[in-house]
Amino acid sequence: MDNKVEELDLQHHNQEIDHLKNVIMKNLNHEFRTPMTSILGFSELLMDSLAGTENELVVQKIFDAANRLQHTLNLLMVLSELETQKSNIVLKEINLSELTKSLAEQYRYLAEKKRLMLVFYSDSEIWCSANRLFLTQILENVLDNAIKFTEAGTIKITIGIATDAHGEFAQIEIQDTGIGIPDAFHHQIFEEFRQISEGDTRRFEGIGLGLSVGKKLVELMNGTITFKSTPEKGSTFYIRLPLIKRSIPLDELTIKSHLMGRSVVVKKFNSKHSELPLLLLVEDNSINVELMMLYLKDICHVVHTFDGVSAINMARENYFDAILMDINLGLGINGIDTLGSIKKIPGYEEIPVIAITGYSNPSDIEKLHSEGFYAVLSKPFTKGSLFELIKTTLFTE
């Protein structure tokens, strides 16, 4: 009897530790991401204003360092959530071709900075069973490595069907022409905190979590991740997921810099105020408010408030084409409760409300989607990511 009581006490103690760890990590995550938004954002604006001057390179180094910290924070938060087993894995039908193509377009900027060509190919629309957030994290980890370890040549992303003794699978193949991985190091690629170059011989940035986290995530989705690699010739990673269906044929897309200048020609917004959409920004951090107002000044009219109650009142009195909503609004009601009240206002049932939040764990983002947010943008974010989200929300090409 005493042993059973001691076992229950130990179990309860471990649960309390896990809960405390989860709360601390979430709070640290939020506190890091809010100032990181300002560091990334204002350094990005400075780079634009200093283009062509000798100080542009100085600001670029600040921006790159902040991006590196952001990437490390993302990996640590996902790993923490997996270890405490708090993730509620929701698998849905995902258009793999569409998701991967969109991600490839985002990564063309990083590739072009290193004078690399990024190519995407899918012979048809492939649908798989997956968690969109987890799948995006996996692809980002592999693509980050492909660009980091490739100095010249091409990165090719291919979507297709793979067949083995167990049947057919949806497959993403990511091939690079980088430094490759020596056979002696193949066994540690998916180990946590391990890299090919370590200690005093370390050549590349990172803490060695990307692929280990990716492996955990893909296995949670009933998939696999494998690779083959030849030193000095490159590596190819294969991500396989349960296949649902294939659909209409697609054309090959080669992502080149001229695509960066494409223009928006068709409106989706319904603003009665002017040629620009009217946005309501609900954010209690004045520095982030200033940053987002600067980001959006050329494509939107932005009205701002600091709290949820005034946001509800402003929505009752005005027509907004979209709302950008922080979740943690300090004292008073939070962003989720504010959304619930705004959705009850006639005419606002279908207005897109985008969560802008420092809470970025996969389970947090899933919860925000389930609460009715149109999209979620995690802090810190860049001008490009905010621009892209607003364009896809309020415009078509």
Supply the DSSP string of 117-151, one letter for each residue.
Answer: EEEEEESS-EEEEE-HHHHHHHHHHHHHHHHHT-S
Query: Can you give the pLDDT at residue 195?
Result: 47
Query: Can you give the pLDDT at residue 262?
Result: 32
Confidence band of 266 (pLDDT split at 50, 70, 90): very low
pLDDT at 51 over 60: yes
Query: Can you give the pLDDT at residue 98?
Result: 86
- Burial class for 135, CB neighbours closer than 10 Å (0-12, 13-18, 19+): buried
Task: For residue 314, count other CB atoms closer than 10 A to its CB.
Answer: 17
Query: Can you give the pLDDT at residue 3?
Result: 63
User: Once rounded to an integer, what is the mean pLDDT over residues 310-318?
Assistant: 93
Confidence band of 357 (pLDDT split at 50, 70, 90): confident
pLDDT at 371 over 60: yes
Query: Can you give the pLDDT at residue 295?
Result: 87
CA gap 369, 386 in Å, rounded: 18
CA proximity to 56, closest of 46, 41, 66? 46
Question: How is residue 345 annotated by DSSP?
Answer: S
Report the DSSP pairing between strands 301-305 and 375-378.
unpaired
**Residue 177 host element (H or E):** none
The dotted CATH code for 262-396 is 3.40.50.2300
Query: Can you give the pLDDT at residue 25?
Result: 64
CA proximity to 275, closest of 301, 293, 302? 301
Pick 282 or 216 by higher pLDDT.
282
Q: Quick check: 125 and 248 in contact, CB under 8 A?
A: yes
Map tokens 């809960």 to a residue: 19
Retrieve residue 285's tokens.
């951090």
Mean pLDDT rounded to a whole number for the chain: 78
Confidence band of 18 (pLDDT split at 50, 70, 90): low
Q: Give the CA distances from residue 123 to residues 119, 134, 160, in Å, rounded to whole numbers and listed in that order.
A: 13, 24, 7
Query: Can you give the pLDDT at residue 211?
Result: 81
The dotted CATH code for 92-260 is 3.30.565.10
Task: For residue 152, count other CB atoms closer than 10 A to its CB.
Answer: 10
The radius of gyration of the chain from alpha carbons, rounded to an integer in Å, stands at 23
The set of residues, in sequence order, having a beta carbon less than 8 Å from that of 230 and lying 6+ positions away, is 180
Which of 186-195, 259-268, 290-299 has the least mean pLDDT? 259-268
**Residue 1 host element (H or E):** none
Query: Can you give the pLDDT at residue 7?
Result: 64
Task: For residue 243, count other CB atoms closer than 10 A to its CB.
Answer: 19
CA gap 142, 284 in Å, rounded: 35
Quote the distance between the C-alpha of residue 129 and its chain's center. Answer: 19
Which of 130-134, 151-155, 198-202, 372-376 has the least mean pLDDT? 198-202
CA proximity to 390, closest of 310, 297, 291? 297
Which of 89-98, 202-211, 337-346, 361-370 has the least mean pLDDT? 202-211
Map tokens 């949820």 to a residue: 308
Residue 243, strand partner residues: 128
Report which residue type is found at 166: H
**Residue 219 host element (H or E):** helix 210-220
Query: Can you give the pLDDT at residue 204?
Result: 41
CA proximity to 381, closest of 285, 291, 278? 291
Percentage of the chain beyond pLDDT 90 is 26
Query: Can you give the pLDDT at residue 261?
Result: 32
Task: For residue 372, count other CB atoms closer than 10 A to its CB.
Answer: 14
Report which residue type is found at 359: Y
CA proximity to 339, closest of 327, 347, 331, 330? 327
Question: How is residue 40 annotated by DSSP?
Answer: H
Q: Give the CA distances from residue 254 to residues 104, 153, 173, in Å, rounded to whole numbers and listed in that order.
A: 10, 14, 16
pLDDT digits (tens, 9 = 90+) for 197-244: 444 444 444 434 568 778 888 888 999 999 899 888 999 999 999 999
Q: What is the pTM of this model?
A: 0.57
